[in-house]
Structure formats: structure tokens, C-alpha cells
Structure 1
């Protein structure tokens, strides 16, 4: 049977009482409330300084066309395909996409696969090459297309994404891989977030500079032991910079399998701008790298 894991750090941190109250508020008040619930203080949205304040500002204010598609996973893959030669990345093959998962029920694919919603984050099911999309999988994912990630957090680009199921090949043949998440500002990587054991109860997270110096910081997930720099770090940095260079900020998620660099996804709103970095100085340091676009103000 396919395995299912939900990365619910944000959902569990924002307790049901917070979610109920937030759902009753207009967008600007809701954003302040969610930020207060996660950070313990109100955001400076008129003059944002920290990274999380600027993420919150983007959520409320930035409606530029160049951001509209960045939460649509199929559109992200199109972006990576266009730049794959220059970026030196491989893009996972889309095995099927559609709005009725029952259409592929009973189908066996010739490789390990991953099932996710095209318009949401944190939901995923894994299958081996011998696994089929069975009735249990169809039932367990029935609500995936009913919810809109924009509804609570106000993340506008999610509201523009097509509500579809996306089934694609699993990078690395389905073996657990580290997630490398590059924080890219105007085409330059400021920091790298490395997640190990994602979608498991043993998940850890570390941060590094592009020179692979450890940064002492935590965000929701506990820090783990040091992670060795990937052998193709220079190629991964190059890929992240090419894929993220057209944005004032974008988190570019990549994987590596030996010498190969694989595209994961783009993330314009990391942690919904609500989660607290420890120490807070990292939030300020990261925010200093981000020059918000005057055209969106």
C-alpha cells in the first residue's frame, strides 16, 4: 500500500482555536492575527524589515503576474523545463494529472511514484513501482481538491493554481532523499535549508551558508547533526540561482542523486510567514537580503 505522510507543522502550530478565529477576520486582520499566534508579536506590515514580515507583506500586497503561477506545481515544472539546460537540472516526469483520481485507479506505473495536489503543499502519498492507485488511495485523497490553501493563510498564488491531482515519478527511485531548499534573493543564494526525514516523525532541519558554514538557527523542526555538503554543491547553487533569478525572493527546492540535480518545487511563501525563527536575529538577517519590489507597493 502507498505510504502517506502529512507535514503538519504549520497546521499543528496554529491550533484549531487560532484557525477558527482567523477564519472570521478580513485578510489584513487575519494576517496580523496569524503572525501574532506564531511569532508572539505583531508584524510591521507598513514597513516590513524581517524575512517573515516581508513574506507576510507579499501575501497581503504582491499580486504581480510573475507570482501568480508560482504555487501551481505543473507551472513550476514548466518553468524548470524552460531553464533546465542552463540550470543543469532534471525535472521529474509527470505520469498523470487530472481532477478525478479514479480515472487511474488500478493502474500500475513502471516506476516509484509520488501523488500530490497541484495547488497545495504538505500533502503527499508515495507508491512503489508495484503499487496501484487503489480505492483506499482514492478515498484518502478525496478532500485534497476541496480545500484551498489560500482560504486560511491568504497565500494568493495558491488561489491561482489549478485544482488537480499530480502523479509524478519519485526522484531517486523512491529512496529517502535530503531536501535542499535554497533561499534565493535576486538570483543570489543567501542560505540553504536542509531537511532530513521529511514526512516522518524523525524530521530534522539545518541551515547553511552557500560556503556550507553551519548557521545556528531553528524553525519549528528541531536541528539535527551536521550534514556534509553535497559533492555537487556548486552545481546545485548554480541551478537555484538560475531558477530563482527572476524573482526578488524565491525558495528553490532541489534534490541530488550523485552527480544529478533534480528540481523539486518553488516556494514563494515559506511557512506562511507565520513561524518563528530562533534566534530572531536570523529573521532580521535574512530580511536584510530582500528588497521588496516597488511596483507591488
Structure 2
């Protein structure tokens, strides 16, 4: 079922989910899993990666996660790991979009909400002179001081986050500026990096390839088509893997997103629930392979 065709407006979809806030997480997640993936969700004995992510949402309560999903707070977490040198330059942290001093910002930057995941909460500004600030303010405005505890995907780590805005340096692909920089998303389990997903050409025909840590192409597809070319192994791959393992050592599972630009590694974000756990891999067995690596912890840590 393509629910987005039935309810086309994103705000309407979230309003409906908010009204269903009284429904227990397990019921909502089972319903969403069935609608989005067309199969039942096994929470008692999860085997698939996508199933274990749903279990993770409900049962794993590590308070450090709150800091790590906050786009401003995570900077302190990265610094606490002795990795402050990989942080992208910060131009400012603001309470609301209306507090951002656009006139004093450089000509290019990235602006995003501190409390949301996904591309809908991020705006890339390559040329400030062409920016429609009115449209931007509409897109990144919010009315609450904290994130509602019954968000769309029931993702516990985001519950209660203070809302805010951060503005950071825009990293540029010097070889092909219009394509955007490659985004290396490293799947880590208990501090061990296992797989690397690489997003390329994000602004000119987004593609995605899956690799193991030896940079063997696994020929997996997901919600984004695979690249028709082999993606070159990043020159700092071993350093990136070490960084990812350092940042992930406190958690049973987390995806560590990094960039490598002109020979320097930069931090992107930490993601505990990629795709919110609703993604179809091809071949389907990869879902089980990822699930084997994911050793679920005891419930209600923290």
C-alpha cells in the first residue's frame, strides 16, 4: 500500500499519527510495518534488521542517545571522544529560524533543525543571494519547544528534544561541486564497523552503493537506485572506520555518517533508526544478514 498516495500531505500524515498518540508503540509500529513493508512485524523474536530496529525503538533507553540525535548536542559528544577536529565549522546555534542573522552568514552554508532526522529538515544554501528566506522560514518553522513524545515513527531517542536551528559550513566537492560530497554511512554494532553505505551525486541523480569494510561491492539496493559505476574507495577509509568505531562504542547499533573532502574526514551525524526501520532491501536476505550482526541488549537501559 502506498500510503503517501492516499494521504499526500506530509503534515496531515503527521497530524494523524499525533492524534493516535494514545495507541501503544507496539501496535502503531506493527501497523506501520505492515503498511510500508507488506509483512507482519515479529517483536518477540525479531530476526530481520528492520524488525530489530522496531524493537530498539520500544525497548532500548540509553539517555546518551538524546544528546547524540540532537544536531547541536552531538557536537559535545564527538568532542568527548577526542574527535573535535572532525566537526564541520559551526556558524551559529539558534532557538528558532527567526533568530538566524542571514545578513551576517557567509555566501554558502547548511541550515537544519537540531531535533529532526531526514532531508526534509535540512536546507543546503550554495548561494545566499538566491535564497528565499520566506520560503525557508516556512519550511523550518516549528511551534513547540520540545519534540512531541509520540512522533511519527515512535523513535524514542528524539522524545523531549529541545527544538532549535544550527547553521554550518557547506562542504563542497571540489571535483564536481554540483554533485555534492559523498556521504559515507557506516553501520556499527557494539563499536565494530561492518558495512558502509555510500550516497553519491545527491543533487544530480542520487545513487547509493553498499560495501563491506574491505570495500567489496555487495550489490544491494534499497530505497535508492545503485550507482552504475564503481565508487572509488575513499583515501581515508581506515581512519573513517576507526572514527566510526570510537563514536559507536557505547551503543548496540548506530549508523555513523562521515564525509571525506579533500583528504580530510568530517562528522555528519549519528543515526539510530535509519529509514525508521522501514526499508526493503534487494535481495531480501540482506535484511537478515544485517539482523545477525545486531545483538539486542537487555530492555530499558539507562
TM-score tier, shorter chain, comes to 0.7 to 0.9
1:216-235 aligned at under 5 Å gives the runs 216-225=219-228, 226-235=230-239
Q: Is the 8 A contact 2:70 2:115 kept in 1?
A: yes
Q: Decide which of 257, 268, 273 is 2:277's aligned counterpart.
A: 273
Query: Does 2:183 align with 1:183?
Result: no
Q: Which TM-score applies when normalising by structure 2?
A: 0.84
Post-superposition offset of 1:278: 1.4
Structure 1 residues 51-109: Cα deviation after superposition (integer angstroms, max 9, x where no partner)? 11110101112122232333211121211122244xx8510122122223222344232
Q: What is the aligned partner in structure 1 of residue 300 from structure 2? A: 296
Tell me, in whole angstroms, the C-alpha distance in 2 between the residues paired with 1:266 and 1:150: 21
Mean Cα deviation higher: 23-32 or 285-294: 23-32
Structure 1: state its 5+ residue gaps.
Answer: 1-11
CA 1:80–1:150 in structure 2 vs 1: closer, same or farther (change >3 Å)? farther
Q: Is the 8 A contact 2:184 2:198 kept in 1?
A: yes
Number of aligned residue pairs: 283
Query: Does 2:90 align with 1:94?
Result: yes
Structure 2: state its 5+ residue gaps.
Answer: 8-12
Query: Does 2:123 align with 1:119?
Result: no
Q: What is the aligned partner in structure 2 of residue 74 from structure 1? A: 72
The structure with higher relative contact order (CA 8 Å, sep 6+) is: 1
Tell me, in whole angstroms, the C-alpha distance in 2 between the residues paired with 1:130 and 1:202: 23
Mean Cα deviation higher: 109-118 or 220-229: 109-118
Indicate the structure with greater strand content: 1
Post-superposition offset of 1:144: 8.1
CA 1:177–1:159 in structure 2 vs 1: closer, same or farther (change >3 Å)? same
CA 1:133–1:211 in structure 2 vs 1: closer, same or farther (change >3 Å)? same
Tell me, in whole angstroms, the C-alpha distance in 2 between the residues paired with 1:234 and 1:46: 37
Q: Which TM-score applies when normalising by structure 1?
A: 0.85
Q: What is the aligned partner in structure 1 of residue 205 from structure 2? A: 202
Mean Cα deviation higher: 103-112 or 151-160: 103-112
1:120-199 aligned at under 5 Å gives the runs 120-121=116-117, 122=119, 123-128=121-126, 130-131=128-129, 134-143=133-142, 150-172=150-172, 175=177, 176-198=180-202
Quote the RMSD (CA, aligned, Å): 2.7
DSSP-derived class of the 2:251 partner:
coil
Q: Is the 8 A contact 1:38 1:276 kept in 2?
A: no
Q: Is the 8 A contact 1:181 1:253 kept in 2?
A: yes
Q: Is the 8 A contact 1:108 1:130 kept in 2?
A: no
Post-superposition offset of 1:17: 4.4
Structure 1 residues 196-219: Cα deviation after superposition (integer angstroms, max 9, x where no partner)? 133x46111110000000112111
Query: Does 2:61 align with 1:63?
Result: yes
